Amino acid sequence: MTYSASVVGGTGFTGGELLRLLAGHPEFEIEQATSRSKANKTVGHSHPNLRELDLRFSDPEDLESVDVLFAATPHGVSMEQIDAFQDAADTVVDLSADFRLDTEAQYDEWYDGHSRPELLEKSEYALPELNRENLEGADLIASGGCNATATIMGLLPLFEADILSGDEQVVVDVKVGSSEGGAGGGAASSHPERSGVVRPYAPTGHRHEAEIEQFLGIDVSFTVHAVDMIRGASATCHVFPDGPVSKGDLWKAYRGSYEDEPFVEMVAGGGGVYRYPEPKAIAGTNKAEVGFELDPGNKRLVVFSAIDNMMKGSAGQAVHAANVALGIEETAGLDFQGLHPVGAP
């Protein structure tokens, strides 16, 4: 069976990734891509890697009826346009933050409020490794934030194996690429300003903390740095368990959670150059790399996780979730293995 699909907000980096994935997906047919600023221009005008697509951007006011609508719009847009999106499609997958959290109070605290709070309990978080069972048949899906996704992927097995209860101290440091700022960018994202930096841009109070707290039930000390790469989010989590933990305990926990997951690779101190998770190694893929190391002297556990922020952290996660929701083979359209060697991801 083939499903028709549209991408609202198709000129951004994530919109381009959605179009790339859907164009190569065996079960999806792209019917529409919208853009206010580039209406009537070809998709290749914004995404040169997609020049072969015979598709032009249309005005988002003229939505066509499709099976699945992917909304790659700025935060705040989807909650205002959700009625139009749901009128146009049986399944809506939103890649903004508009439906990720459970309550209106959370949006009042972390964002600028919410205009459609009655829909929050109806949306499903898109990360299959966390929420697969609830995604089946879902018609409103919220793709997770990239920094939250990287962090949750690293820490989740520790909670599933009861190594952590939620009362422990957890310090998370995330390094992110410039694509996280979107195609619009800004002064801080210009190449002369961004190149060569390791810049703390959210030392405290990053909005993605809300997702981590919601799904793991833990307060985290969370800091994000901008670094000199294009794609990627790399999370280093410093965890201080209440009791002793062995490497055997950790391998059992991580294998128990991820051994059968098609998009998770364990990279934990093996041989070669890439001994721990590295965004460069998985750029362009829907994979997450996860690893760990013990520091017995300080009673510390260090967890590493790496994703491509535009794939596992956004467009790839959205397509993966749509596959699950529609009963399509989970890996369909997401089998790109990545490249090595490559330059800055």
- Listed by start position, the domains of the chain span 3-144+313-326, 146-307
Nearest to 322 by CA among 5, 55, 1: 5
What secondary structure letter does DSSP report for 182?
T
- Is 85 marked within a binding site? no
CA–CA dist 123, 133 (Å, integer): 13
Residue type, 50: L
Kindly list the catalytic residues.
146
Confirm whether pTM is higher than 0.75. yes
Angle between helices 13-23 and 316-326 (to 10 degrees): 40
Confidence band for 113, pLDDT divided at 50, 70 and 90? very high
First to last CA, the chain: 35
Q: Which two tokens stand for residue 204?
A: 């405290």
Residue 11 annotated as binding site: yes
Tell me the mean pLDDT in the region 75-80: 97
Q: Which helix (H) or strand (E) holds 93?
A: strand 89-94
Parallel, antiparallel, or unpaired for β 221-227 and 198-202? Answer: antiparallel
Which parts of 231-291 fold into alpha helices (H)?
247-258
Annotated binding residue at 309?
A: yes
Q: In this predicted model, what pLDDT tens digit does every residue of 202-219 receive, in sequence order?
A: 999 999 999 999 999 999
Match domain 146-307 to its CATH number in 3.40.50.620, 3.30.360.10, 3.90.230.10, 2.40.37.10: 3.30.360.10
Least confident of 2-6, 182-186, 188-192: 182-186
Place of tokens 């194996």: 161
Round to whole Å and give the CA distance between 177 and 198.
Answer: 10
Check the annotation: does 149 bind a ligand.
no
In the Cβ-directed half-sphere of 193, how many Cα atoms lie within 13 Å? 8
Residue 118 has pLDDT above 80, yes or no: yes
Report the pLDDT averaged over residues 235-263. Answer: 97
What tokens appear for 197 in the block?
């930096």
Contact (CB, 8 A) for 245 and 155? no
Distance CA 64, CA 62 (A): 6
pLDDT tens digits, one per residue of 123-168: 999 999 999 999 999 999 999 999 999 999 999 999 999 999 999 9
pLDDT in tens, 37-49: 999 999 999 999 9
d(CA 33, CA 16): 10
pLDDT grade, residue 5 (50/70/90)? Answer: very high
Task: pLDDT band for 345, please (50, 70, 90 cuts).
Answer: low
Please write the tens of the pLDDT for every residue from 267-323.
998 889 999 999 999 999 999 999 999 999 999 999 999 999 999 999 999 999 999
Residue 185 has pLDDT above 80, yes or no: no
- Is CATH 3.40.50.720 correct for 3-144+313-326? yes
